């Protein structure tokens, strides 16, 4: 785990982007997203180790805690040409788009890859990282890559396209891993697709429509799923060990209700650990978290670069980034799904048509899927994550 003391992001250099990682197992807690939780009286303060705002081009610290992602790490390493021991050499996929639910840990996984020794060996020139978000500073991120490549005057380029072309020439014979995190529009990624044949590009996005637009083929999209029940419980146990030890059965039901979403489990673990540290019982809090409303109004850990630019973001605020993309009618339909959602929240088209009272539900379904708010689950059914169900219900309570 990382040291309890907040550390600055590591600047990229031509020698790579390895971070310095310490070891700390005692309180205060350092969560899996490089946050430190410190109690003072009745207050709990979350200190993020990602300073706001992150410098363009900076690689996040190595995640202090990552559970249940070994298979994902290996699968993504194989995509960039790293084979498991004893296997034949894997071909290099030039581009992979990593997509998944908000809060599933896309940035955390990408940061773990950036610090992986196998990655550092495969890409000896280093890692170049760009954090985009909804309103990216494309020129600033490209200029940061230029500085990392020893060209400090890249910002003298007259256009983003010119800066991108200059980078393409610099990277032609290099071996870099390029990571573009938190893409919201496919056109924002285009200037960063500048690697030569020895480079690989990883993009993270919560939006399926962006992943489809970026990826050359469907096989170039990697869907990052939620944690298994076993791994989700292990994560909760790490964050709130006493609570889980004393409430094993209820804790297991909690991670089932949270459907393995790392963001939700981390927030729940923080709330439970704090309540238990006061000497209070956690039985009612467990009920409140399972019902959802308490969870989405809680402060979220900063597991993505854009979170570090905000003050005390809630889980709802992070989810609202997706629902803000909806028009008023589609937002109403999303909210109605939350009101009628079973457990687990899966629907077929006929059920959604009945709830929405529309002639053809498919255009709305397509929009919700493209915005990452519904996920096809097979056999004509669609899944809404439990945390998104709570978020959907919140729109009805506001009226």
Dump pLDDT digits (tens) for 310-323. 444 678 888 888 99
Q: What b/e readout covers 303-312, taking b as 16+ CB neighbours within 10 angstroms?
A: bbbbbbeeee
Cβ–Cβ under 8 Å, residues 94 and 52: no
90-101 residues labelled b (16+ CB within 10 A) or e (exposed): eeebbbbbbbbb
Residue-wise pLDDT for 291-340, tens only, equals: 766 677 676 665 444 444 444 467 888 888 899 999 999 999 999 998 88
| pLDDT one-digit tens code per residue, 68-123 | 999 999 999 999 999 877 676 677 888 999 999 999 999 999 999 999 999 999 99
Helix, strand, or coil here: 342? coil
Nearest Cα residue to 371 out of 358, 360, 381, 385: 385
Q: What is the CATH number of domain 29-223?
A: 3.40.50.300
For the chain, give every domain's residue range.
29-223, 229-296, 326-397
Q: Each residue of 198-250: pLDDT tens digit?
A: 999 999 999 999 999 999 999 999 999 999 999 999 999 999 999 999 999 99
Please state which CATH number belongs to domain 326-397.
1.10.10.10
Residue whose structure tokens are 């939780």: 37
Q: In this predicted model, what pLDDT tens digit does every residue of 141-178 receive, in sequence order?
A: 999 999 999 888 787 888 999 999 999 999 999 999 99
């Amino acid at each position: 785990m990382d040291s309890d003391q907040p550390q600055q992001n590591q600047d990229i250099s031509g020698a790579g982007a390895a971070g310095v990682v310490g070891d700390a197992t005692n309180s205060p807690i350092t969560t899996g997203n490089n946050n430190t939780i410190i109690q003072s009286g009745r207050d709990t303060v979350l200190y993020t180790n990602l300073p706001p705002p992150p410098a363009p081009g900076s690689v996040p610290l190595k995640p202090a805690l990552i559970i249940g992602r070994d298979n994902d790490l290996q699968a993504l390493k194989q995509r960039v040409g790293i084979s498991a021991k004893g296997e034949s050499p894997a071909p290099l996929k030039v581009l992979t788009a990593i997509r998944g639910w908000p809060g599933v840990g896309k940035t955390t996984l990408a940061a773990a890859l950036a610090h992986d020794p196998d990655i550092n060996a495969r890409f000896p020139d280093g890692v170049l990282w760009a954090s985009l978000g909804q309103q990216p500073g494309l020129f600033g991120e490209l200029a940061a890559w230029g500085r990392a490549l020893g060209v400090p005057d890249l910002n003298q380029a007259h256009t983003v396209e010119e800066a991108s072309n200059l980078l393409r020439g610099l990277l032609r014979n290099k071996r870099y891993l390029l990571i573009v995190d938190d893409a919201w529009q496919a056109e924002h990624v285009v200037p960063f697709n500048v690697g030569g044949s020895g480079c690989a590009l990883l993009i993270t996005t919560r939006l399926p429509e962006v992943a489809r637009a970026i990826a050359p083929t469907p096989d170039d999209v990697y869907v990052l799923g939620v944690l298994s029940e076993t791994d989700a419980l292990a994560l909760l146990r790490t964050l709130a060990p006493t609570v889980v030890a004393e409430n094993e059965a209820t804790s297991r039901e909690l991670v089932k209700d949270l459907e393995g979403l790392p963001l939700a489990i981390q927030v729940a673990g923080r709330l439970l650990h704090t309540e238990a540290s006061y000497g209070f019982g956690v039985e009612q809090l467990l009920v409140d978290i399972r019902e959802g409303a308490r969870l989405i109004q809680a402060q979220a850990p900063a597991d993505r670069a854009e979170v570090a630019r905000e003050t005390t973001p809630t889980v709802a605020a992070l989810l609202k980034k997706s629902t803000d993309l909806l028009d008023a009618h589609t937002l109403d339909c999303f909210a109605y799904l939350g009101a009628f959602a079973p457990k687990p929240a899966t629907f077929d088209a006929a059920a959604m048509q009945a709830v929405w009272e529309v002639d053809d539900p498919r255009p709305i379904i397509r929009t919700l899927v493209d915005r990452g708010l519904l996920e096809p689950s097979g056999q004509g059914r669609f899944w809404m994550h439990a945390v998104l169900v709570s978020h959907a219900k919140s729109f009805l309570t506001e009226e």
